Amino acid sequence: MLLEVRDLRVEFQTRDGLVQAVNGVSYTVEAGETLAVLGESGSGKSVTAQAVMGIIDSPPGRIAGGEVRFQGRDLLTMRAEERRRVRGDRIAMIFQDALSALNPVLTVGFQLGEMFRVHRGASRAEARARAIELMERVRIPAAKERVNDYPHQFSGGMRQRIMIAMALALEPELIIADEPTTALDVTVQAQVMDLLDELQREYRMGLILITHDLGVVAGVADQIAVMYAGRIVETAPVHELYRRPAHPYTKGLLESIPRLDHKGGELRAIRGLPPNLARIPAGCPYHPRCPLARDVCRENPRPPLYEVGPGRASACHFWKETMGE
Amino acid sequence: MGRYVIRRLLQMIPVFVGATFLIFLMVYALGDPVTALFGDRGPDPATAAALRAEFNLDKPVWQQYLLYMGKIFTGDFGTAFNGEPVTDLMGRAFPISARLMLVAIVFEILLGITLGVITGLRRGRSLDTSVLVLTLVVIAIPTFVLGTTLQYFLGVEFGWIDPAVSPEGRFRELIVPGLILSLVSLAYVTRLTRTSVAENVRADYVRTAVAKGLPRRRVTVRHLLRNSLIPVVTYLGADIGNLMAGAIVTERIFNIQGVGYQLFQGILRQNSPTVVGFVVVLVLIFLLANLLVDLLYAVLDPRIRYA
């Protein structure tokens, strides 16, 4: 087991009161496996990743409970200095918008080389040489000339490649990619995803791919976890989930994908909005938007994660109906 | 970049001409320096006429201006009415003022930036609030009030410093006056640094730096400060102008015989060559400082390129 997140809870103190951004999330990632975490904005998918990474802004954020076991050791109880050494070295993160995630006033060579300087004690010249190697590794043309360029001098796709190179630098066991292609053009998205997929296979890294794009997920993920209102509502191997979703929310998401063979028809969106995380409804948090909702859904306790098949779980009282339809 | 500098230097010419001509007009055309020279008794007409001829005061203003500027470019700033060349006065006054300004800028950098960084990283805590209130108080109180108060207590009551600075204007004597001169700018530097740090501390690239597993110190110094100090450094450059203006008050309080003091004396005695000469040099310094700030900006922020 590479990573095991167990019953993770994260809260934020805001003006609206205590926001429960992550509410008992559990998942596992094996070496070489890709877990896609799917969900709308505010579903807690990024916050979960930040908690694993140890980069939650605190205050206002606070980890209220749970465990994050990485190679058997709980990251949450580690000393700060020990935790820092894991970050970037054993677990690395790729952020969404490379333009703002890279430092605008430092050259990409410096920012890449910094990984070797800090974690490996490399010399300046050595770090530079490794930075060029990395840029070549992610197929940036003319890496030698461009190593002294600044982030704004690269195109969006090239910048995201640099982000990937930075995460890859020390060959970590786990990479967390937080919407790595959202800020890119569709054609560039595919290139970047292919690159990430290829590198992951080559290094046999675990990958957590956070996204709201079902199209991105299908090609690369092994396992999917669908999140809603700070909880996992369904987990399944990727193809089974696409074929037969076991939660009405997943089903709604799949039905809302525009399809070429339904040209001209109206898009089928899920009605309503995700709940305010400071006031999550009682019972199943999805019930106000759910076409299957009945009385039992509006009452506590919330539906547990029912085991609905091998490696599959759904937090819906009516998973049988959902799957059977 | 080279072309930009040349263009900026060319743009300075009309600004320089306009600014100096205005000063020239105000000083020469709006008062009669010769009458002022003789005070209440009134000059003997022959002497007055001779003086007017010597200083070109009998010619039209535009001619006077051209003659004056022509001489300036040969390094001749004329003589004060007491017979001393204006360049000699400058040679004595500018080093003293430069020292005073240096002391002030060191205070701004050391105290202002340190306070700004600390409060910016601890936004909303009690230390932050206290410093913020203090900067408001400093900005609100005029320099001459704070200056004379401090002079009275430190110089007269406690006797820790000399209340007046000697004509040499040594560094040691300029510490308290330099602090007074810097106070208002110091408050602004603190606030500017604080805002900039507080804004950047939440920036994505700082989060990236943390996610890279960099030690906290490196995140703060290399990533956060490098970005946050860009507006502060440019403010410091532009502040040279403010300090020059402020120095007139500060130098008067502590009897420092620098540029401000000479200007003040010159204005009081309608000593036109002194006033115009000093102002011409100040205008030049101001223009060059501004150009330097703009160039510095491009050095500090690679996203800015001048063409």
Q: Is A124 an interface residue toward B (CB < 8 Å)?
A: no
Distance from CA of A272 to the nearest CA of B (A): 31
| Chain A residues lying within 8 Å of B210, measured CB to CB | 55, 87
Interval A26-48 mean pLDDT:
90
DSSP A269: P
Distance from CA of A115 to the nearest CA of B (A): 7
Interval A127-138 mean pLDDT:
93
Average pLDDT of chain B is 85
Sign of CA dihedral B235, B241, B246, B252: positive
Contact, B260 vs B250, CB < 8 A? yes
Query: How many residues appear in chain A?
Result: 325
Q: How many CB pairs under 8 A join A and B?
A: 72
Q: What is the pLDDT of residues B200-211, one digit of tens each?
A: 998 999 999 999
Contact, B141 vs B149, CB < 8 A? no
Q: Does the pLDDT value for residue A103 go beyond 90?
A: yes
Contact, A98 vs A160, CB < 8 A? yes
Q: What is the pLDDT of residues A57-93, one digit of tens each?
A: 877 888 988 899 999 899 999 999 999 999 999 999 9
* A 207-246 residues inside an 8 A Cβ radius of B: none
Could A150 and B210 be called an inter-chain contact, meaning their C-beta atoms sit closer than 8 Å?
no
Distance from CA of A247 to the nearest CA of B (A): 34
Could B213 and A85 be called an inter-chain contact, meaning their C-beta atoms sit closer than 8 Å?
yes
Interval A114-141 mean pLDDT:
93
**Domains assigned to chain B:** 16-72 (no CATH), 99-300 (1.10.3720.10)
Q: Which of A212-216, A228-232, B12-16 is predicted least confidently?
A: A212-216
Q: Which of A89, A94, A105, A168 to mutate to test the interface with B (most CBs of B within 10 A)?
A: A105
Could B209 and A103 be called an inter-chain contact, meaning their C-beta atoms sit closer than 8 Å?
yes
Could B211 and A106 be called an inter-chain contact, meaning their C-beta atoms sit closer than 8 Å?
no
Q: Does the pLDDT value for residue B82 go beyond 90?
A: no
The confidence band for B29, taking pLDDT boundaries of 50, 70 and 90, is: low
Q: Does the pLDDT value for residue B117 go beyond 90?
A: yes
> CA B192 to CA B132: how far, in whole Å?
11
Looking at residue B61, its pLDDT comes to: 78
Q: Does the pLDDT value for residue B90 go beyond 80?
A: yes
Phi-psi domain of B83 (left: phi exceeds 0; alpha: psi -120 through 50; beta: other):
left
Q: Does the pLDDT value for residue A235 go beyond 90?
A: yes
Could A102 and B202 be called an inter-chain contact, meaning their C-beta atoms sit closer than 8 Å?
no
Q: Does the pLDDT value for residue A34 go beyond 90?
A: yes
Instruction: Give pTM, 2 decimals.
Output: 0.82
> Could you tell me which residue, B168 or A50, shows the higher pLDDT?
A50
- Of A317, A302, A312, A322, nearest to A229 (Cα)? A302
Could B212 and A118 be called an inter-chain contact, meaning their C-beta atoms sit closer than 8 Å?
yes
DSSP A280: P
